Amino acid sequence: MTTSRFDPQAELSDDVRSRFYIGGHWVLPNSKETASLVSPTTEKSFLSVPLADRRDVDDAVRAARKAFDTGPWPLMSAAERSDYLRRLSGAVASRMQLLSRLWTAEVGAPVWFADLFTPTATAMLEYYAELSLSFPFKEHRQTRGGHARVLRQPVGVTALIAPWNAQLPILAYKLSAALAAGCTVVVKAPPETPLDALVLAECAHEVDLPPGVLNVITADADRGAHLVANVAVDKVSFTGSTATGKVIAKTCADRLARVTLELGGKSAAIILEDAELEPTLASLSPYTMPFSGQICFAQTRILVPRNREQEIVEAYSAVIGGLNVGDPWDETTQIGPLANRRQFDRVLRYIDVGRSEGARLATGGKSCERFERGYFVEPTIFSGVTPDMTIAREEIFGPVVTVTAYDDVDHAIALANDSDFGLSGTVFTTDVERGYDVARQLKTGNVSVNGLEMSPNVPFGGFKQSGVGREGGPEGLSAFLEDQAIYLPSEAQPSKLA
Ligand code: NAD
């Protein structure tokens, strides 16, 4: 096993390694606390970074508040902000390779995966730059007494909180919409993967984003809670576990702060009886455990017709058992390590639970013994899984997939919907209209027929305990806006109104 091929001293600026970005400046933290970044491949620390204390959190909120209340940002035209977003996208594009490498260094995403999905960041910035040029920030409506101007105003100071697994793409969804809306932002980067957000701050500084519009601190859960509780924060946009989402929602409810929650998933892939196995497995397999299953939309419950169960389990196990598990820096590696020790222990615990509850191991089922170091777990498939089993109900967030047999299509739909979650889902069939008909009966925010796609212009988010609200598309922009209606007498001329 090679060691990490990333040298933070050489590849990152001193600002990114040791400071926070607040009010347009790189500032030394008040706090003396630090977090150690540990390579999932070598289990060795490769960098120590500062962690915010409450004063740092409050400083960031104050800067965002000032920028919103007295700065130019919320008052700019959509076209002016669009121009900033494009320039920010350009600055991010010029650091694409670095940002991709950070994903591999911090969480062990294989290089092919990181290279493929890091450009999500520029795609989101470009999308919202374009959308804001045509979005109806102002509308004019006739009323009985005259007219009403309906304004979509920025919601205010927003706190953006994302998990460690895919920090940059998740942040890009939030940040690009928040900025396009005219909000100011405090990003609380997670202690496991703080560097991406700080590199984004470097980009913002380079394009002269007005001071205080973007503020970035690295903080743990406790300081995250302090940020959410700050009354100067108007909106929280959170991605993470359902458990944390509920805590955040309760805090926001106290003052009715706006909140968007993108939470966990336990998504079902329904293979209909008419599906051809080879193309189905070719398009399904990458999404059952992408990035070692540490993605919210992973298709982790595979539902198969009972009369094809054995055939599908054998073919799918051969595909998954043949994946190349190894060093994420190696171009040929398909599955890398889990991101950290906590994940590693958690996933192995779930595998034990699966066994003890009577599920059959079709492939995998333990840590990879051939590696002396690193958080490697074999890609694992359980068959004979019933819907009451823990591994069919709880989000494992690892390379562990369950196969459950169904009797007919209605049973498949009922099984898919028998979940507290409702984030994603897939249907595989040779009859795409029938696939659509099944898809619309699934209680989940996103469903793809014969594959899995996510597009910047389409809303993403969850039903049930997978979340509240949407990101992406015009819906994601609306989430950072408040509707304001201004009634005017009939003599007011629309052309004279700002
Ligand atoms: P987590 O909920 O533990 O932490 C997420 C973030 O919230 C981190 O930055 C953490 O520091 C912060 N945090 C924790 N407690 C907080 C509190 N009380 N107040 C404010 N901030 C707090 O989640 P995790 O383990 O880092 O991430 C994995 C989870 O994220 C999984 O459940 C996964 O499904 C989910 N996820 C969802 C999506 C989506 O779009 N729906 C995308 C990716 C990941």
Query: DSSP code of 73?
Result: G
Q: Are residues 359 and 383 in the same domain?
A: yes
Q: What integer is the mean pLDDT of 224-232?
A: 98
Residue 492 within any structural domain of the chain:
no
Instruction: Judge if 246 and 287 occupy the same domain.
Output: no
CB contact at 8 A, 275 and 253: no
* 113 in a structural domain: yes
Phi, psi of 188, deg, nearest 5: -100, 100
310 and 221 housed in the same domain: no
Q: What is the pLDDT of residues 355-409, one digit of tens each?
A: 999 999 999 999 999 999 999 999 999 999 999 999 999 999 999 999 999 999 9
CB 228 less than 6 A from any atom of ligand 1: yes
Specify the number of domains making up the chain.
2
- What's the average model confidence in pLDDT over 99-112? 96
For residue 121, give its domain range: 8-263+466-484
Residue 19 and residue 150 in one domain: yes
Distance from the alpha carbon of residue 243 to the mean position of ligand 1, in angstroms: 9
Ligand 1, residues 296, 342, 444, 470: which to mutate, most atoms within 8 A of Cβ? 296
Q: What is the residue-wise DSSP string for 435-450?
A: HHHHHTTS-SS--EES
**Residue 456: inside a domain:** no
Amino acid in the structure at residue 290: P
What CATH code is carried by the domain that includes residue 277?
A: 3.40.309.10
Residue range 287-336, pLDDT digits in tens: 999 899 999 999 999 999 999 999 999 999 999 999 999 999 999 999 99
Window from 133-137, 280-284, 389-393 with minimum mean pLDDT? 280-284
Residue 186's closest CA among 27, 33, 22? 22
- Burial-class residue 220 by CB neighbours within 10 Å (0-12, 13-18, 19+): middle
Q: What is the mean pLDDT of residues 451-458?
A: 96
Is residue 379 within 8 A of residue 361, CB to CB? The reply is no
Q: What is the mean pLDDT of residues 100-111?
A: 96
- Which atom belonging to ligand 1 lies closest to the Cα atom of 240? 30
Query: Which one of 126, 262, 395, 471 is the catalytic residue?
Result: 262
- CATH code of residue 191: 3.40.605.10
* C-alpha of residue 279 to centroid of ligand 1, in Å: 34
Same domain, yes or no: 473 and 388: no
pLDDT at 5 > cutoff 90: no
Which residue CA neighbors atom 11 of ligand 1 most closely?
Answer: 221
CA gap 480, 152 in Å, rounded? 9
Contact 362, 383 (CB under 8 A): yes
Q: Which atom of ligand 1 is nearest to the CA of 247?
A: 18
* Residue of 324, 261, 205, 231 lying closest to 465 (CA atoms): 261
> Does residue 1 lie within any of the structural domains?
no
Residue 494 has pLDDT above 90, yes or no: no
> Which ligand 1 atom is the nearest neighbour of the CA of 462?
41
| Same domain as 192, residue 123 | yes
| % of the chain beyond a pLDDT of 70 | 99
Instruction: Answer whether residue 466 shows pLDDT above 80.
Output: yes
Q: Which residue has the higher pLDDT, 90 or 493?
A: 90
- pLDDT exceeds cutoff 80 at 78: yes
pLDDT at 496: 87
The CA distances from residue 387 to 59, 339, 382, 416, 491, in Å, are 48, 28, 12, 9, 65
Q: How far is CA 131 from CA 176, 206, 333, 372, in A?
A: 11, 23, 37, 50
Q: Give the per-residue pLDDT at 3.
A: 46
* Cα 72 from Cα 310, distance rounded (Å): 63
Q: Is residue 226 part of a domain?
A: yes
Asked, for residue 493, whether it belongs to a domain, the answer is no
Looking at the fold, whether 220 and 323 belong to one and the same domain comes out as no
Q: Does residue 445 sit in the same domain as residue 472?
A: no
Q: Is the pLDDT of residue 125 over 60?
A: yes
Ligand 1 pocket check: which of 57, 106, 161 to mutate, most ligand atoms within 8 Å of Cβ? 161
In the residue annotation, 273 being an active-site residue is answered as no
Distance CA 404, CA 425 (A): 15
Q: Ligand 1, closest atom to CA 236?
A: 20
Residue 241 Cβ < 6 Å to ligand 1: yes
CA of 162 to the centre of ligand 1 (A): 6
The verdict on 221 and 289 lying in the same domain is: no
pLDDT value at residue 498: 85
Check whether residue 239 and residue 278 sit in a common domain. Answer: no
Cβ of residue 261 lying under 6 Å from some atom of ligand 1: no
Three-state SS annotation for 210-263: CCCCEEEEECCHHHHHHHHHCCCCCEEEEECCHHHHHHHHHHHHHHCCEEEEEC
Answer whether 161 contacts ligand 1 (Cβ < 6 A).
yes
Does 95 fall in a domain?
yes
Quick one: residue 256, left, alpha or beta (phi over 0 = left, psi -120 to 50 = alpha)?
left
Q: Look at residue 492 and tell me whether its pLDDT is greater than 50.
A: yes
For residues 451 and 433, give the distance between their C-alpha atoms in angstroms, rounded to a whole number: 14
Among 68-72, 208-212, 342-346, 488-492, which stretch is predicted with the lowest mean pLDDT? 488-492
**C-alpha neighbours within 13 Å on the C-beta side of residue 33:** 14
Tell which one of 106, 244, 248, 262 to mutate to probe ligand 1, the residue whose CB is within 8 A of the most ligand atoms: 244
CB of 398 closer than 6 angstroms to any ligand 1 atom? no
How far apart are the CA of 223 and the centre of ligand 1, in A? 14
Are residue 246 and residue 124 in the same domain, yes or no? yes
Contact 303, 268 (CB under 8 A): yes
| 164 within ligand 1 shell (Cβ under 6 A) | yes
- Atom 8, ligand 1: residue with shortest CA distance: 163
Whether pLDDT at 152 is above 80? yes
**pLDDT at site 435:** 98
Q: Which two tokens stand for residue 42?
A: 């070598």
| Helix pair angle (120-134, 78-93), 10° resolution | 170
pLDDT of residue 493: 86
CB of 225 closer than 6 A to ligand 1?
Answer: yes
248 lines ligand 1 (CB under 6 A): yes
16-43 pLDDT per residue, tens: 999 999 999 999 999 999 999 999 999 9
Query: Is 357 strand, coil or helix?
Result: coil
Q: Is 496 contained in some domain?
A: no
Helices (H) and strands (E) in the chain, counts: 18, 20
Name the residue at shortest CA distance from atom 26 of ligand 1: 163
pTM to 2 decimals?
0.97
Predicted confidence (pLDDT) per residue in 39-71, tens digit: 999 999 999 999 999 999 999 999 999 999 999
> Angle at the Cα of 94 (from 89 to 100), degrees rounded to 5?
95
Q: Mean pLDDT for the chain?
A: 97
Query: In this structure, are 290 and 255 located in the same domain?
Result: no
Ligand 1 atom having least distance to the Cα of 166: 43
Residue corresponding to tokens 């955040």: 248
Q: Which two tokens stand for residue 251?
A: 């805090």
Q: What is the pLDDT of residue 4?
A: 58
